[in-house]
Amino acid sequence: MPDVVLLSHGSGGRKSAELVHDVFQKHFSNSFLDEMGDAAVLPVPNSLVSMTTDSFVVDPLFFPGGDIGKLAVCGTVNDLLASGATPLYLTAAFMIEEGFPIDDLRRIVLSMAEAAKEANIIIVAGDTKVAPRGAVDSLFITTTGLGAIDQEASYPQSSAAAEGDCVIISGTIGDHGMAVMGRREGLTFSSPIQTDCAALVDLVFAARAACPGIKCMRDPTRGGLAAVLNELAAASGVCIHIDEDSVPVSPAVQSACDLFGIDPLHVANEGKMVFIVPQESAEAVLSAIQSSKYGENAKIIGRVLASPIARVHLRTSLGVNRILDMPSGEILPRIC
């Protein structure tokens, strides 16, 4: 570990994993935290509760198809959904730089309200702090979400993938990261790229109805699809094998990634979900997702193998197998 925090520690890749493991998990370790899922599943009398917290520092605050407010709500809702919970309540804390335009704040708060209404989650508490000019870069938002899990039903766990399972992605990857980067760099693409930022309540509920025994669910945000698959492979002690040609990427996003020299598998998404399901349920789950809002481009992209453990293998378009590793370094800073 270096002596100071680096930008790459916030990338969602290898450095992020090292920071979480060596600093936070080392001292906070407990059975709930050590599952290292998107949200913690907590026992309370006669029920299970899922809780998650997240901070949002995206730059710019407004980008094609969304803004920091919509992102904060949808990101937290999707983390709850990934744990098998029904999202119920949300808190929001705002750290605002002195001089921030009130009209922009109103626009962001309205966006949060609309996203919460669509997700059927209630914003029940919050906090506001104003920092001196220069102490905060415009606006940061921290949200905490709480959801309920049916204790009589099975729920997804990062460690549950097993040989023979299928891997599904709910749609095209890389849209959010490239939408933010394009706006930040002032680029105009021949085919406009918009964030995929969305709360996936209907999509996840449809998948759960098709297969109550979903093994794993994760939303591939920082570090993209590559980071999430590596985390699941390590947690489950399996090898995940995916087919590059099966992974959906829009032509516009692929062109933008080529321009920036970035692999779309490493780019953050804010409206996608990764599912690992039993092979016999894969087609039913895929059909349910494709029939739901936000899921029309869903694909089965791979399968789970017994070995080599804690590895992700990618079969390239050229028919060659290679290791798909965790992203290393800071690829796209401040995109969520």
H helix or E strand, kind and range, residue 205: helix 201-210
Give the pLDDT confidence score for residue 191 in this predicted structure.
82
The answer on 178 and 309 residing in a single domain is yes
Predicted structure pTM score: 0.90
Burial of 44 (0-12, 13-18, 19+ CB in 10 A): exposed
Residue from 231, 204, 206, 216 nearest 276 by CA: 216
Is 79 part of a structural domain of the chain?
A: yes
> Is residue 122 located within the same domain as residue 241?
no
pLDDT, residue 160, reads 97
The Cα–Cα gap between 70 and 78 comes to 12
In a domain, 27, yes or no: yes
pLDDT of amino acid 7: 67
**Residues contacting 157, CB < 8 A, separation 6+:** 35, 37, 215, 216
- Last residue in a domain, options 118, 149, 180: 149
Indicate whether 254 and 171 sit together in one domain. Answer: yes
At 33 the pLDDT is: 79
Predicted local distance difference test score (pLDDT) of residue 16: 80
**DSSP alpha helices (H): ranges in 237-335?**
251-260, 282-290
Instruction: Report the C-alpha gap between 57 and 113 in whole angstroms.
Output: 19
Statement to judge: residues 317 and 174 lie in one domain? yes
Q: Is 76 within a domain? A: yes
In a domain, 336, yes or no: no
Q: CATH code at 83?
A: 3.30.1330.10
List the Cα angle 84/86/89 in 5-degree steps: 130
Token representation of residue 60: 């710019």
Same domain, 253 and 131: no
Indicate if 183 and 139 belong to the same structural domain: no
pLDDT for residue 151: 82
Counting as low any pLDDT under 70, the low residues of the chain are 7, 10, 45
β-bridge partners, 80: none
Kindly state whether residues 141 and 184 are assigned to the same domain: no
Output the pLDDT for position 169: 98
- Do 18 and 108 lie in a common domain? yes
Alpha-carbon torsion angle 224, 226, 231, 237, nearest 10: 160
What pLDDT score does 26 carry? 82
Query: Does residue 330 lie within any of the structural domains?
Result: no
Residues 18 and 136 in one domain: yes
In a domain, 156, yes or no: no
Which has the closest alpha carbon to 82: 236, 213, 212, 201? 201
- Dist CA 131 CA 138 (whole Å): 9
Sign of CA dihedral 314, 320, 323, 329: negative
pLDDT tens-digit readout, 228-251: 999 999 999 999 999 999 999 999
Q: E-assigned strands of the chain?
A: 40-44, 47-56, 62-63, 66-67, 86-97, 122-131, 139-149, 166-169, 216-218, 239-243, 274-277, 299-305, 311-315, 321-323
CB 78 within 8 A of CB 219: yes
Q: Cα(201)–Cα(294) distance, rounded to whole angstroms?
A: 10
| Count of domains forming the chain | 2
Residue 96 structural domain: 7-149
